[in-house]
């Protein structure tokens, strides 16, 4: 049994959905020959739909009702074109049309009340932003039926039970596992392909939640682990996980194999190809996660496993990634030296702000602590720190709490870096040769990652320089 997740671009147009149907049909046939047959499908919203839902809801909260009215009709056409071209049966087509229309009516009602209230809560936003998958999944199920497969739409709100951290919910695994087994196993055993909404879940009481942007990858891994599938396939628009973002590095190369740890580092530090939490559910049962290209399905893609079958002989650095829109916060002062607890108070304060610290670096002289947080969380953090250290600032023990904008973290990743001397030197030589200024550095204890902070304007050059220095390209 396998689970196959299709991303936004894979279900973005009539042609690509036809291609997806082709791939699923082939896998269903292949799986039929195995002793554990079964295919489960998870889909994202059609490309750009989630953004358009969110942007229109935000506009509505600011009193602008134009965008949701406009996008409502655009979204109707976008989905109906696919149904019109890929579903021959008139009754099926009408049913899907009605379902899409009723979702969009709900969307309009929601946006209207958001506009009236002039406010958009995280909880409200999750209802709106999950509508894209709630349209694409029933549409894809109908397209698969039109192709002769026994496919049925399932809403992940019935399967993935989460906490109520709206916008970034975490599954409660015990309940999720039993829901998945009860609802999906009988379907699979009777030869049905469940077609499930990615990205969304629901609280125990049924309130819709989402798993964070790009969360459909995570959905597939959660459901795949619950069903104990043999493989979690992530079908996207590139040939797998590459040595760098192909939009930045033209000669980036597909990595045939990676470990869960390496992928977790890459995804956390901005490699958009996988949601950062994707591998978490797969690790315990050691289920391989395979990244494949919908538009080049014969390519073997990237296989992500617990331990490499072919330990790397091709060097130690595997890939380079970057996470943008960051801010570097520095707490500095000579009076900090030897004063215990400054670091603890700093990070305690940051934690109370619920800000996400992506990197920390402290100089050994203890004269400064610097760390990186996302731009949109930085203002709150700085003002909380100013309050926390009011006395120390007054007495001059801490001279300033600074924040620097336009920061990018570049992460150099590879588990083989461990114990290999000279990697950091090569990284810095490469940057030096291109006159790129490194603002801060950190190396994880895992030694699978060296992170450097550079200015936004230098980030792409830094990635290309390191990629070249380690000869990672084709």
Of residues 12, 138, 214, 276, which one binds Mg ion by CB under 5 A? 214
Range 194-253, binding ligand ASP (CB under 6 A): 198-199, 213-216
CA distance 105 to 107: 5
Of residues 3, 8, 41, 358, which one binds ligand ASP by CB under 6 A? 8
Q: Give min distance, CB of 218 to ligand ASP, in A.
A: 8
Site string for ligand ADP, 288-327 (x = CB under 6 A): -------------------------------x-x------
DSSP string, 110-154: HHHHHHHHT---HHHHHHHHTHHHHHHHHHHHHHHHHTT--EEEE
Q: Give min distance, CB of 235 to ligand ASP, in A.
A: 12
- 157 binds ligand ASP, rule: CB under 6 A: no
253 Cβ neighbours under 8 A, 6+ residues apart: 242, 243, 472, 473, 474
**From Mg ion, ligand ASP, ligand ADP, none, which one binds at residue 449 (CB under 5 to 8 Å depending on kind)?**
none
| Sole residue written with tokens 């670096």 | 361
Question: Residue 110: how many CB atoms within 10 A of its CB?
Answer: 20
Of residues 28, 149, 229, 273, which one binds ligand ADP by CB under 6 A? 273
Range 51-110, binding ligand ADP (CB under 6 A): none
Is the CB of 171 or the CB of 214 nearer to ligand ASP?
214
- 472 binds ligand ADP, rule: CB under 6 A: no
Q: Are 287 and 40 in contact (CB under 8 A)?
A: no
Site string for Mg ion, 174-213 (x = CB under 5 A): ----------------------------------------
Three-state DSSP class for 355? Answer: coil
Q: How many residues bind ligand ASP, per CB under 6 A? A: 12
Pair of tokens at residue 151: 């496919």
CA distance 60 to 224: 37
CA 27 to chain centre: 25
Of residues 132, 157, 270, 301, which one binds ligand ASP by CB under 6 A? 132
Report which of 376, 375, 329 is spatially closest to residue 349, judged by C-alpha positions. 329
- 414 binds ligand ASP, rule: CB under 6 A: no
Pair of tokens at residue 177: 């596992």
- 136 binds ligand ADP, rule: CB under 6 A: no
For residue 113, report the phi and psi dihedrals to the nearest 5 degrees: -70, -30
Q: Are 362 and 368 in contact (CB under 8 A)?
A: yes
Residues of this chain that interact with ligand ASP (CB under 6 A) are: 7-8, 44-45, 50, 132, 198-199, 213-216
Residues of this chain that interact with Mg ion (CB under 5 A) are: 7, 214
């Amino acid at each position: 049994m396998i689970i196959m997740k299709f991303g936004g671009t894979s279900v973005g147009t009539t042609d690509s959905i036809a291609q997806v149907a082709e791939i699923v049909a082939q896998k269903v046939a292949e799986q039929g020959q195995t002793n554990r047959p079964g295919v489960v499908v998870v889909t994202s919203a059609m490309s750009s739909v989630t953004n358009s839902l969110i942007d229109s809801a935000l506009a509505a909260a600011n009193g602008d009702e134009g965008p949701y009215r406009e996008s409502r009709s655009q979204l109707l056409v976008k989905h109906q074109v696919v149904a019109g071209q890929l579903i021959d049966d008139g009754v099926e087509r009408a049913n899907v049309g009605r379902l899409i229309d009723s979702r969009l009516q709900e969307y309009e009602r929601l946006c209207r009340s958001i506009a009236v209230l002039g406010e958009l809560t995280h909880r409200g936003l999750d209802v709106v932003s999950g509508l894209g998958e709630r349209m694409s999944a029933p549409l894809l199920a109908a397209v698969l039926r039109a192709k002769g497969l026994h496919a049925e739409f399932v809403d992940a709100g019935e399967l993935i039970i989460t906490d109520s951290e709206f916008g970034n919910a975490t599954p409660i695994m015990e309940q999720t596992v039993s829901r998945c087994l009860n609802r999906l196993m009988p379907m699979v055993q009777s030869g049905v392909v469940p077609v499930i909404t990615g990205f969304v879940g629901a609280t125990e009481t049924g309130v819709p939640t989402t798993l964070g942007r790009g969360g459909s990858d995570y959905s597939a891994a959660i459901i795949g682990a619950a069903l104990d599938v043999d493989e979690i396939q992530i079908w996207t628009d590139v040939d797998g996980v590459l040595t760098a973002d192909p939009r930045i590095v033209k000669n980036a190369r597909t990595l045939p194999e990676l470990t869960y740890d390496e992928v977790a580092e890459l995804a956390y530090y901005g490699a958009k190809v996988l949601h950062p939490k994707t591998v978490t559910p797969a690790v315990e049962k050691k289920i391989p996660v395979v990244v494949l290209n919908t538009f080049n399905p014969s390519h073997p893609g990237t296989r992500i496993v617990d331990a490499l079958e072919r330990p790397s002989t091709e060097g130690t650095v595997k890939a380079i990634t970057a996470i943008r829109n960051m801010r570097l916060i520095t707490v500095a002062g000579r009076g900090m030296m030897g004063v215990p607890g400054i670091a603890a108070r700093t990070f305690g304060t940051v934690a109370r702000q619920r800000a996400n610290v992506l990197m920390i670096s402290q100089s050994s002289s203890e004269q400064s602590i610097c760390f990186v947080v996302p731009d949109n969380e930085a203002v709150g953090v700085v003002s909380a720190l100013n309050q926390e250290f009011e006395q120390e600032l007054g007495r001059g023990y801490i001279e300033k709490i600074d924040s620097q904008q336009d920061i990018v973290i570049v992460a150099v990743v590879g588990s083989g870096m461990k114990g290999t001397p000279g990697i950091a030197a090569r990284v810095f030589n490469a940057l030096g040769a291109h006159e790129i200024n490194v603002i801060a550095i950190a190396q994880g204890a895992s030694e699978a990652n060296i992170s450097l902070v550079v200015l936004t304007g230098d980030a792409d050059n830094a990635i290309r320089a390191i990629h070249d220095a380690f000869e990672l390209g084709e």
